[in-house]
Amino acid sequence: MTQGAGLEATAGNTAATPRVPAYGASTPPGAVPPAPLPSVPGGHVPVPSGPSAPPVPVAHGRVPRGQSPAPAPAPAPASPAPAPSAPEPAPAAPAQAPPPREYTPTERLPIMGPGHTIPDTPLVPPQDRPTVAFTPVPEPEEGPLAEDEGPGPLYVVGDVHGYYDELREALAAEGLIDAKGNWSAGNTRLWFLGDFTDRGPDGIGVIDLVMQLSAEAAAAGGYCKALMGNHELLLLGAKRFGDTPVNSGAGTASFQAAWLLNGGQRSDMERLEDHHLQWMSRLDAMAEEDGHLLVHSDTTAYLEYGDSIEAVNDAVTEALQRGDADECWDMFRKFTKRFAFRDEDSGPLAARELLDAYGGQRIVHGHSPIPYLLGEVGSEDDEDGGAPVVEGPHVYADQLAVAMDGGVTMAGKLLVVQLPLDD
């Protein structure tokens, strides 16, 4: 190929392209960048003179007649390839003329001063806009979203003692659970007064039901809570201490022996699991609801554990956590006492002492079966078929106390009632 041949195809483009400064070179401030190379008629491209760059004529790629092509220069000795360098920046695109003034590819937004707003320009014609009818949401009639309805009705349940079927029947009769045993009472408040196990056939089933209803009631905006009974203390002690001897006023005793003597069911012990133990050990000993002081036992022994409801509950929980067999036995023995409000003279005084200390206008308790409290049977375990049928709670001690243990273990009834009572 003749030296310089083929350059005429790009000569015009080369002439029109501005010279690009070498990579890394900079133009001093105020200096005028070099002008582009001029186009020369005849296809010659002027090249700066110098020993290393002689002019090369280009004439449409042909060699003059009678002349031989110039010999190609000898190749230079091979040298190591230079390290790759960063690519040179692309030449700046030629400046474009501004569009005509009337050309508006997008609508120009006006510049507003303070206090002004841009007018709302509808993007969709009014006739093409979809319409949505908003339906007002009615206020909830029940459940956790009903903010202004206040607390729900208050119910209490007496001693259950493992009578699972009777419990479900009594709760369903009051509309608190449905046919499947699930909570159906919305924001109702339900309190169990303790003694879930012993004597009856399915104490663990009773505990499982109470725990289930506690979760379901909370989800529905109500609650289901339970108090610590003396039989919960007895079952916890039998599980934890077994036959370990404890100091008793009648001599040496053990939780295991006392549990069996008071109706402990081996089937309950076999089914007792850690979550049952944890649940029982955290139960409160007393509570106050709507002027009712709720306790399990009809005793004033609560006064020995604190001068407020919170103090008593903390003292009982802490004693169980310490795990001392003698201390737990002493607590069980005190909460097994009964009949503190039965005497016509001293009963109302004892009830008033408890109410003055912890608040409320009336004590509601379990523990002592109503037939036993009234002297109609000789003991708590009396199962004589001639015992009177219990129809409802027993109000006594000058209207200051309400007994709720209907004596389901004898010829009685498992009581579920709404408070306050219609005296």
Whether the CB-CB separation of 293 and 363 falls below 8 Å is answered with yes
What are the pLDDT digits (tens) for 287-303? 999 999 999 999 999 99
pLDDT at 383: 57
Confidence grade of residue 248 (pLDDT, cut at 50, 70, 90)? confident
- As a whole-number percent, the residues of the chain with pLDDT over 90 amount to 58
Contact 220, 185 (CB under 8 A): yes
Angle at 417 between CA 416 and CA 420, to 5 degrees: 155
Predicted local distance difference test score (pLDDT) of residue 421: 94
Q: Would you state the pLDDT for residue 142?
A: 53
- Domain coordinates of the chain in residue numbers? 154-419
Q: What is the pLDDT of residue 146?
A: 45
Peptide bond into 420 cis (omega under 30): yes
Answer yes or no: is pLDDT of 197 > 70: yes
Position 315 pLDDT exceeds 80: yes
DSSP collapsed to 3 states, the chain: CCCCCCCHHHHHHHHHCCCCCCCCCCCCCCCCCCCCCCCCCCCCCCCCCCCCCCCCCCCCCCCCCCCCCCCCCCCCCCCCCCCCCCCCCCCCCCCCCCCCCCCCCCCCCCCCCCCCCCCCCCCCCHHHCCCCCCCCCCCCCCCCCCCCCCCCCEEEECCCCCCHHHHHHHHHHCCCECCCCCECCCCCEEEECCCCCCCCCCHHHHHHHHHHHHHHHHHCCCEEEEECCHHHHHHHHHHHHCCCCEEECCEEECHHHHHHHCCCCHHHHHHCCHHHHHHHHCCECEEEECCEEEECCCCCHHHHHCCCHHHHHHHHHHHHHHCCHHHHHHHHHHCCCCCCCCCCCHHHHHHHHHHHHHCCCEEEECCCCHHHHCCCCCCCCCCCCCCCCCCCCEEECCCCEEECCCCCCCCCCCCEEEECCCC
Computed over every residue of the chain, the mean pLDDT equals 79
Is the entire prediction scored with pTM above 0.75? no
Q: What is the pLDDT of residues 26-78, one digit of tens each?
A: 445 444 445 454 444 444 444 444 444 444 444 444 444 444 444 544 555 44
The CA radius of gyration of the chain, in Å to the nearest whole number, is 49
Least confidently predicted of 89-98, 149-158, 317-326, 336-345: 89-98
pLDDT at position 355 over 50: yes
Residue 251 confidence (pLDDT): 73
Question: What CATH architecture applies to the domain 154-419?
Answer: 4-Layer Sandwich (3.60)
pLDDT of residue 351: 98
The tens digit of pLDDT for each residue in 164-177 reads: 999 999 999 999 99
Q: For position 12, what pLDDT does the model report?
A: 43
Instruction: Decide: 161 and 381 in contact? Cβ < 8 Å.
Output: no
pLDDT at 184: 98
pLDDT band at 412 (very low <50, low <70, confident <90, very high): confident
Confidence grade of residue 258 (pLDDT, cut at 50, 70, 90): very high
Q: Is the pLDDT of residue 415 over 80?
A: yes
pLDDT at 128 over 90: no
More confidently predicted of 364 and 81 = 364
